[in-house]
Structure 1
């Protein structure tokens, strides 16, 4: 819950004299400040214990007990409650409370005394609590600052320096920055902005640095893997239908859409012929949106114990929410959530349900790019309208696209440009090639140039290299046609052109990424 919800709920719990209030948060200082604010609003008092300062008056912050140990704090709280009614005591360093321990039982005794005396023990922690303790009270979760709160934190920071350092951000930039920083703690956000101000200016070009600063905070998150994307090294061609759609959705990812009652773009499912750039498109999308790219490997989440796989998936999706706005790439999603028919334990079914619930209900700005090759294994519920924003089909490259792909890979390999007639010949030889096949053919030539020098590169070498490639469209034409037949009925062509036109029909369907 956000700050306002936390304050409102805590005040209700305080008035009701709930004997045990669990506040789960990693922001201890912020939680104490909000509890202090609630007590001041209610004209009430209390005490707070920290290891560094011992026990202090919550409002005046005056020290009242020099014993800094947690045991000493609980004993002091017990003495206060035995002497008078309605004592509120905040503990910030509770340890060994997850299970039935001696400390947990001592804390439970104090909570029971609080119930008798109209008092309240407030525990601020990130840890789970022993069930017997939890049943004595209520729990609150203080979430990191949301977009509105983050905007207030950001404005408080930069407004103090207006007129002192150049600040180029307008209101739209400030909202975008607040959206980017959503998910980090208040102190982390303040540190990031302070670091930018210390450089002497805040520029419109600083958003890449803002993303890097946030990335450094979540560099060791579990469940998802950070994928480096250098957008200046990406050359994208084709997939014009998909690119137009993405360009339209791009501003919506970081805009405030609450006034209109709509949610941010949720993502796309890319299906089609293997080796045709579906996975590489995830990098292009992250580069286009100027947000970090994270990869979720569903296969690695599988555990051997009951509930382990579902728990790992939940943690990974929660991590994605924390690092938002971002692009979450799920490669070959059918391998992790596909209907293999071999899962008698129901793990896959539960994981599908968990993923779809998150996809439907999460409000974090996570744009999912899922790819699939074996469309027959995709569960029907994954394809239902409303899960993904759109389902695109990526087909084999056409004549024009193959020419562009070959030219790009030749340029990447720093080879001499091909004569038009040789390029046309290679395009003809590569009928039915996927993008990966074209890359492999040119790669052989680049390797020869590296080993024996550019003089070893001849047009015949190109021809031999292309002739050695046997594409999937020739070894398994039935599989390609089956994939296309599925796409014609269920997917939108990534170019807006009819699926299956790979001869001389003009198209902009193909995506090539170099970098």
Structure 2
């Protein structure tokens, strides 16, 4: 899509060529009108008449804004234009958002006839619309799509806004802050960007921290997100225990996401693919990234995009990814990505086409949309998805080792029991949780917290109850050891370990379920 300068050049050439119909597609009417007025204002066109018609103001002179006739109807404006096209050369009529342009209707046929009349005397009709134009009318001329402001144009918009407010309110932003804010606001209209900045300035100051708050406020203007589910993050703690390598890598990617990458040849980070054992923190990591980075979180359900009609699935995915580009910067969480991309044995070709479009978007999109994709059934992942360069990295999330289990136990012990376990208790719980996933540890300590709440407080709890609960918890690694071992064998050789070291076999993974009761001393 062309930026403003490219659109200005193209429109100017179309007017100079006296193209009879110029279709200017955009959702930003004010920018489009500014584009047309600039083209009409060139000195070489001073003798060329330009009229503009809108439903609110009727027909007016484009340059002076003076009314041309009392009749404010579109029919009256077109009759006036027909007379002018017949009697004088080089006349131009601008029609703003006329109805029913997308199909073969009496109106579109009337405009087509008017365009043919204009063509006989070097006249032009410019259609400014945000809807498709009937092909029979479009083929009479040229089409031009005005895209939303890019980062450079957004920088100019923000700079002009701040210049107008300097001296009236304190403005702490430097040029780098304005550049970052401009990149964050790519995907909104010029008017929306000004509204967001005015909201920030309304508190009486523009502070350095407002750059990130501006990105968060951007999310509120998108009320109907096609194909995406907005995940509302609560005030809960989204800390992740263990996964040391992954957490350190994410910190580096956060710095890159917020950096000014102009002139570096670098693109914003694309995201990460997390594969591994169920319940070990893959989905929690997506929420943790959004919460810690202060970005909105959206969930794309790959299993729900498939439709029954030809092309419906690809259309839904394209619409969802286009929306993700618009709301960026954001975190896009794709849970169980294999459900939407697994195509083995499918004769329709839909999964392959969906995969192809998704990979193309991963490769080409320049938006600051950070993808956190998770997968449990690693055998179903298409090999194209795993190639280096699709995602920034592929991490394997294994069962936590003893050190990671200790960190996870402390995390959830504080959350549900409001205290740290003593060193002896922690050591016994680490031994008892051998083979546990992080979700198993959380579930056990949640049960303990529920018992504390029902029994009236921690003083009424038997000292050994926590150990009893852990001992009587049967994790997935012992319920389904063959499947878990298959997942772990895949991840050892094909992905970077998300934990602090190489994948190691958990003791007791293949042992039968145990039930141990600790008696009071």
Q: TM-score, normalised by structure 1?
A: 0.93
Using the TM superposition, give the Cα deviation of residue 202 of structure 1 relative to its aligned residue in structure 2, in angstroms: 0.7
What CA deviation, in whole Å up to 9, does each residue of 1:300-335 have, x standing for no partner?
222222211111111111101111111111111001
- Aligned to 1:219, what secondary structure does the other structure show? coil
Using the TM superposition, give the Cα deviation of residue 137 of structure 1 relative to its aligned residue in structure 2, in angstroms: 2.0
Query: Residue 365 of structure 1 aligns with which residue?
Result: 368
Say if 1:233 and 1:472 are closer, same or farther in 2 by CA, change over 3 A: closer
Q: Equivalents in 1 of 2:506, 2:122: separation in Å?
A: 77
Q: Equivalents in 1 of 2:256, 2:42: separation in Å?
A: 38
Using the TM superposition, give the Cα deviation of residue 285 of structure 1 relative to its aligned residue in structure 2, in angstroms: 1.9
Using the TM superposition, give the Cα deviation of residue 33 of structure 1 relative to its aligned residue in structure 2, in angstroms: 0.7
Query: Residue 279 of structure 2 aligns with which residue?
Result: 275
Q: Equivalent of 2:429, from 412, 423, 426?
A: 426
Higher relative contact order (CA 8 A, sep 6+): 1
Q: Equivalents in 2 of 1:337, 1:114: separation in Å?
A: 52
What CA deviation, in whole Å up to 9, does each residue of 1:109-131 have, x standing for no partner?
22222333322221111111222
- Aligned to 2:273, what secondary structure does the other structure show? strand
| Preserved contact between residue 179 and residue 254 of structure 1 (Cα < 8 Å) | no
Query: Residue 5 of structure 1 aligns with which residue?
Result: 6
Asked if 1:206 corresponds to 2:206, the answer is no
Using the TM superposition, give the Cα deviation of residue 89 of structure 1 relative to its aligned residue in structure 2, in angstroms: 1.4
Query: Residue 22 of structure 1 aligns with which residue?
Result: 23
| Preserved contact between residue 46 and residue 87 of structure 1 (Cα < 8 Å) | yes
Using the TM superposition, give the Cα deviation of residue 259 of structure 1 relative to its aligned residue in structure 2, in angstroms: 0.9
Asked if 1:128 corresponds to 2:142, the answer is no
Say if 1:365 and 1:208 are closer, same or farther in 2 by CA, change over 3 A: closer
Query: Residue 356 of structure 1 aligns with which residue?
Result: 359
Listed as ranges, the matches of 1:362-511 within 5 Å are 362-454=365-457, 455-495=459-499, 497-500=501-504, 502=506
Listed as ranges, the matches of 1:135-214 within 5 Å are 135-214=139-218
Query: Residue 34 of structure 1 aligns with which residue?
Result: 35
Asked if 1:233 corresponds to 2:237, the answer is yes
Q: Equivalent of 1:95, from 72, 92, 99?
A: 99
Q: Equivalents in 1 of 2:65, 2:124: separation in Å?
A: 19
Query: Residue 517 of structure 2 aligns with which residue?
Result: none
Using the TM superposition, give the Cα deviation of residue 371 of structure 1 relative to its aligned residue in structure 2, in angstroms: 0.8
Query: Residue 222 of structure 2 aligns with which residue?
Result: 218
Query: Residue 65 of structure 2 aligns with which residue?
Result: 61
Q: Equivalents in 1 of 2:92, 2:463: separation in Å?
A: 84
Using the TM superposition, give the Cα deviation of residue 166 of structure 1 relative to its aligned residue in structure 2, in angstroms: 1.3
Q: Equivalents in 2 of 1:326, 1:212: separation in Å?
A: 9
- Aligned to 2:165, what secondary structure does the other structure show? coil
- Aligned to 2:120, what secondary structure does the other structure show? helix
RMSD after superposition:
2.0
Using the TM superposition, give the Cα deviation of residue 149 of structure 1 relative to its aligned residue in structure 2, in angstroms: 0.9
Unmatched 5+ stretches in structure 2: 509-521
- Aligned to 2:59, what secondary structure does the other structure show? strand
- Aligned to 2:451, what secondary structure does the other structure show? helix
Q: Equivalent of 1:243, from 243, 247, 252?
A: 247
Asked if 1:113 corresponds to 2:127, the answer is no
Q: Equivalents in 1 of 2:293, 2:461: separation in Å?
A: 39
Asked if 1:80 corresponds to 2:80, the answer is no
Using the TM superposition, give the Cα deviation of residue 491 of structure 1 relative to its aligned residue in structure 2, in angstroms: 0.9
| Preserved contact between residue 176 and residue 260 of structure 2 (Cα < 8 Å) | no
Query: Residue 509 of structure 1 aligns with which residue?
Result: none
- Aligned to 2:332, what secondary structure does the other structure show? strand
Q: Equivalents in 1 of 2:243, 2:34: separation in Å?
A: 52
Q: TM-score, normalised by structure 2?
A: 0.92
What CA deviation, in whole Å up to 9, does each residue of 1:125-152 have, x standing for no partner?
1111222122222221111111111111
What CA deviation, in whole Å up to 9, does each residue of 1:206-250 have, x standing for no partner?
234313321111132211122233688333443222222222222
| Preserved contact between residue 242 and residue 400 of structure 2 (Cα < 8 Å) | no
- Choose 413-422 or 237-246, whichever is displaced more: 413-422
| Preserved contact between residue 398 and residue 499 of structure 2 (Cα < 8 Å) | no
- Aligned to 1:371, what secondary structure does the other structure show? strand
Using the TM superposition, give the Cα deviation of residue 275 of structure 1 relative to its aligned residue in structure 2, in angstroms: 0.7
Query: Residue 518 of structure 2 aligns with which residue?
Result: none
Q: Equivalents in 2 of 1:446, 1:298: separation in Å?
A: 35
Say if 1:243 and 1:417 are closer, same or farther in 2 by CA, change over 3 A: closer
Using the TM superposition, give the Cα deviation of residue 456 of structure 1 relative to its aligned residue in structure 2, in angstroms: 4.6
Q: Equivalents in 1 of 2:69, 2:237: separation in Å?
A: 61
Asked if 1:312 corresponds to 2:316, the answer is yes
- Choose 230-239 or 317-326, whichever is displaced more: 230-239
Using the TM superposition, give the Cα deviation of residue 42 of structure 1 relative to its aligned residue in structure 2, in angstroms: 6.0
| Preserved contact between residue 222 and residue 315 of structure 1 (Cα < 8 Å) | yes
| Preserved contact between residue 231 and residue 287 of structure 1 (Cα < 8 Å) | no
- Choose 137-146 or 266-275, whichever is displaced more: 137-146
Listed as ranges, the matches of 1:325-336 within 5 Å are 325-336=329-340
Using the TM superposition, give the Cα deviation of residue 477 of structure 1 relative to its aligned residue in structure 2, in angstroms: 2.0
Q: Equivalent of 1:297, from 274, 295, 301?
A: 301
Say if 1:115 and 1:457 are closer, same or farther in 2 by CA, change over 3 A: farther
- Aligned to 1:48, what secondary structure does the other structure show? strand
Q: Equivalents in 1 of 2:207, 2:462: separation in Å?
A: 50
